[in-house]
Amino acid sequence: MSALDFYAHVAVGGEVLGVGLGAGPEAWEAALGATCLDVPGGGLLRRDYGLVDINFSPDRPGRQGQMSCLGFGVKIHRLLYDQSPSTVPSPLSREYGRFAPRVPFKDLQNAILALGHTIELDKHTTSSDMDCYRVSASAARIHVVADPDPYGSGDPDLHGHQRGDVWSVDVW
């Protein structure tokens, strides 16, 4: 399996190594390991694993002190500037191999189509610098760079993000 297979699986299945929405921090830790940065605030918890960012909220009343995942994202854009071994959790590297710093949307789109799903532009969340696509029968959104120079500096980073690069795959 490849990193592209991983991204397509997240976009279609809405989970990472068997863990997804509704799972608690312990389940995510069992899947991705204990090496992460916890960022609490406002009663919520954001757990940063580098490539994968997870957001937790308190569970329903009666389950005092327990939290569950309300959304997570695979932040592919982080790989372009941080290729240290800790950016990709080791369980993902073991399962999917090397993660390239850039993923062309067309490649991910083809992988998702091969899994029998469709993708459509979400006109309500698309902006001038980022396109947003919805995956059929999934809670996933794929954000794609539409304008690598959104502020018009005229000095694009030739080694930075390019039009058509996948920025992230987010599940909410």
Instruction: Convert the pLDDT of each residue in 48-101 to its tens digit.
Output: 999 999 999 998 665 567 999 999 999 999 999 898 889 999 999 999 999 999
Residue of 74, 19, 70 whose CA lies nearest to 48: 74
| Tally of residues, the chain | 172
Whole-number Å distance between alpha carbons of 45 and 6 = 25
Residues 6 or more apart whose CB falls under 8 angstroms from that of 45 comprise 25, 38, 39, 55, 56, 57, 67
Say what the pLDDT of residue 159 is. Answer: 73
Burial of 63 (0-12, 13-18, 19+ CB in 10 A): exposed
- Listed by start position, the domains of the chain span 3-171
Confidence of residue 125 (pLDDT cuts 50, 70, 90): confident
Q: What is the pLDDT of residues 139-158, one digit of tens each?
A: 999 999 998 877 777 766 66
Q: Find the mean pLDDT for residues 1-12.
A: 97
Which residue, among 149, 103, 102, 123, has the nearest Cα to 11 in the 3D structure?
A: 103
